[in-house]
Each structure stands twice: as C-alpha cells, then as structure tokens.
Amino acid sequence: MSIVNMFRKEALRNQYKSSDIGKSLIKQPKIINNSISALIAIFVFSFLVINVLTLSTKRSLDAKVSSEHYTPLIYNEVVVINKHFAIDGESVKKNQQLLTISKFDSNSKLEKEVIRSPSDGLFFHSLIEKNIIQPFEPLGYLLSTTSENELSFWISSNKNMSINVNDHVTLIVSNDELKGIVTMVIGSNKNNKEQKIHLKLETNNYSKLSPNADIKILLTQQSEKALNLIK
C-alpha cells in the first residue's frame, strides 16, 4: 500500500469519527430535552395522584338542637288551644300574645285565657293531632337565641368521621342551609353514641329549628384517602 493511500485511508477514518461525534452532539440535546419532558410528566402525574388520593369529602350527621335552648310552655290542666297568634317559627317579643286557650273553671265552665311569651325568642307549635292538650304537655316551645348566634347541638357519632373545633359546617334544615363554625366539642365519637357540639352560626335565621326538625350537619373533611372512601 502506498503512503498516499495510507494517508487517504487515515483521513477517511478521521472524517467518519468526526461525523459520529457530530451526530452524537446533535443527539445529546434531544436526549436532554426528552429527559426533562419525562421528569415534568412524572411530576405532573405525581401531583394528580396526590390530589386524587387527598379528597375534599362531604358527609352528613344527624343532629338536633340541644333542649336547653327551648322553653316549653306548660299548663297543669287540660286545655283546648283556640287560636295561634304567632305562626310556627315566628320571632316574638316578651309578653307578646302567642295563643288563646280554653279551660274549665271551678264551676266546670269554659273560660278563655291568653298565653303570652315569657321572653324574646322564636315560637314553635306543638305537634298535636287535636287542639286538646293534656296536663304538663307543651302548648308550644320558645327557642331562646343569643347575640353571639351560638347554639349547641347533639349529633350522632360516627367512628369513621370526626368533628373538631374550627371545622366549617352546614346545617341542612328543610332544604334551607345555615353555615357555621364549630367552637366546642364534648364527648368522643369513638366512645359515645352522641356528641355535643357548639356552633357559631353566620345568621340568626332559626325559623326552621323546631324541636322536631330533621337536621343534618354537613361537614367538609380534607385529607381523606380514596382507599378509606371505598371502604
């Protein structure tokens, strides 16, 4: 092989090497870009998985207003309710006429009497089939309210659902909603069938909060895993 051919062969070999290096250099940015895209995709996927597993769930508990807020209007004789002056759930003032009743006097004659409100509050009718009220049965109930808009409730306990101070809740009463925040929790949801909670409500519209009202407390809970929701 001549010296000229050897130089030509070496030159061609170096040219191929330069070409391979060039191709490699061209491919490297693509590899880097693909790697960055893959990392971004992994990050986005992980973020979505975390948000799917960490859900904001809404569950409801049965509730009733604590009886301490109601004043039952009691009479020690059999009476007949003749007329209501206040509709069910109406806000009334102290000494306002609530209803008229009839009762038998000492001569067995019917006499009428006006029942007035002992204080400010909301008046609720008794659930009765007839207008005859037996001794010591409530003629109605007066719900006393506070300027702080705070009421206590008894709620059904649920071992899988806890309620805590500062939780935001929604009361569902006859398709109406009352929003509030939990200020106190008494009792454990694991050891008791019922818990007592205090709620500070955003509004003083209590016209649906009768003693017999069907009340649901809707609680928004954060950070609950999807596996627990399936169970």
CATH number of 69-143: 2.40.50.100
Residue among 44, 124, 54, 119 nearest 89 (CA): 124
Q: What angle do CA 86, 90, 93 make, to 5 degrees?
A: 80
At 82-100, the pLDDT tens digits run: 999 999 999 999 999 999 9
Sign of CA dihedral 3, 9, 15, 18: negative
Residue 168: C-alpha distances to residues 148, 218, 219 (Å): 17, 9, 7
Q: Report the pLDDT value the prediction gives residue 175, as an integer from 0 to 100.
A: 81
Q: How far is CA 56 from the centre of its chain?
A: 12
3-state DSSP call for residue 154?
A: strand
Sign of CA dihedral 122, 126, 130, 133: negative
Q: Are 139 and 194 in contact (CB under 8 A)?
A: no
Give dist(CA 169, CA 219) in Å, integer.
5
Band (103; pLDDT cuts 50, 70, 90): confident
Residue 23: C-alpha distances to residues 113, 116, 155, 183 (Å): 106, 98, 72, 69
At 24-78, the pLDDT tens digits run: 544 555 555 566 666 676 766 555 555 544 444 567 788 999 999 999 999 888 8
3-state DSSP call for residue 16?
A: helix
At 106-161, the pLDDT tens digits run: 777 889 999 999 999 999 999 887 888 899 999 999 998 777 788 999 988 766 67
Band (224; pLDDT cuts 50, 70, 90): very low
Q: Decide which of 7 and 176 is more confident.
A: 176
Task: Name the least confident of 18-22, 103-107, 134-138, 205-209.
Answer: 18-22
Q: How far is CA 107 from the centre of its chain?
A: 56
With 50 as the cut, is the pLDDT of residue 202 above it?
yes
Q: Report the pLDDT value the prediction gives residue 15, as an integer from 0 to 100.
A: 53
Q: Report the pLDDT value the prediction gives residue 146, as an integer from 0 to 100.
A: 74
Per-residue tokens: 47: 């973020």
With 60 as the cut, is the pLDDT of residue 2 above it?
no
Residue 126: C-alpha distances to residues 46, 78, 82 (Å): 57, 15, 14
Q: Report the pLDDT value the prediction gives residue 37, as an integer from 0 to 100.
A: 66
Q: Where are the domains of the chain?
A: 1-53, 55-67+146-230, 69-143
Task: Name the least confident of 34-38, 69-73, 177-181, 226-230.
Answer: 226-230
Band (188; pLDDT cuts 50, 70, 90): confident
Q: For the chain, give the mean pLDDT.
A: 77
CATH number of 55-67+146-230: 2.40.30.170
With 80 as the cut, is the pLDDT of residue 208 above it?
yes
Give dist(CA 210, CA 26) in Å, integer.
78
Q: Are 217 and 61 in contact (CB under 8 A)?
A: yes
3-state DSSP call for residue 137?
A: coil
